[in-house]
Amino acid sequence: DAKTTQPPSMDCAEGRAANLPCNHSTISGNEYVYWYRQIHSQGPQYIIHGLKNNETNEMASLIITEDRKSSTLILPHATLRDTAVYYCIVRPSQGGSEKLVFGKGTKLTVNP
Amino acid sequence: ETGVTQSPTHLIKTRGQQVTLRCSSQSGHNTVSWYQQALGQGPQFIFQYYREEENGRGNFPPRFSGLQFPNYSSELNVNALELDDSALYLCASSLGGPFSYNEQFFGPGTRLTVL
């Protein structure tokens, strides 16, 4: 089972920041938080990941709370092409497999 | 650098038949994972191959099997197809192996319909 909880859907106006929350209250000390997104009819796309510090790349920013029990993915200037399902994933730290455990994600709709 | 490719794009089979899905990894990647995504759900991990050996398996029956070849391309085979096997099958490649956590790059998927 997924170790994360996300709202099923969110809306955002084009050009505004989209803030997608994720709860991972049972995260272990050496587990990373990963974000992927899946645009309709495509495979998931990696966005960003982090351990405890905030991270930023050309796609998004990831803010992780100090207690690491929740995080927020920020798309600073959402466009219509950002409409997708966003998955927050806690990466298993044991077992030696790189498997990703997906939940149902958040369906983000960016409106014009 | 070519990305992950999968074939075929769409496939229709009948219950009881067998199917083989194919995946070509991104150049230089030695690990491939397969996922099943039912409509409205997130992808579910089927299994992973690293250097031609199975390296982890999800909660799928033995009729789901796989192969990885020396060039790191991969196949997913499903025997005795059931209606519930209708789904999008995703292949993901990465560089590394056990205990590495490089990001996975996904292909576009194969849409399998079982009638």
Residues B24-48 pLDDT 10s: 998 888 889 999 999 989 999 999 9
Determine the pLDDT at residue A28: 86
Q: What amino acid occupies position B106?
A: F
Rounded to whole angstroms, how far apart are CA atoms B106 and B93?
7
> A48: distance to nearest CA of chain B, Å?
9
Whole-number Cα distances in Å, B44 to A96, A102, B30: 17, 7, 21
Q: In terms of Cα–Cα distance, which of A29, A32, A44, A28 is closest to A103?
A: A44
**A33, A93, A98: best to mutate for the B interface, most B CBs within 10 A:** A98
Residue B19: how many other CB atoms lie within 10 Å: 18
**Residue range A61-94, pLDDT digits in tens:** 999 999 999 999 999 999 999 999 999 999 865 5
Phi, psi of A54, deg, nearest 5 = -70, 145
Residue A84 pairs with which residues in a beta bridge? A108
Size of interface A-B (CB pairs under 8 A): 66
Contact A105 B94 (CB under 8 A): no
Determine the pLDDT at residue B13: 98
Q: In terms of Cα–Cα distance, which of B97, B96, B65, B79 is closest to B13?
A: B79
For chain B, which ranges sit under pLDDT 50?
Answer: none
Contacts of A103 in chain B (CB under 8 A): 42
Rounded to whole angstroms, how far apart are CA atoms A63 and A55?
7
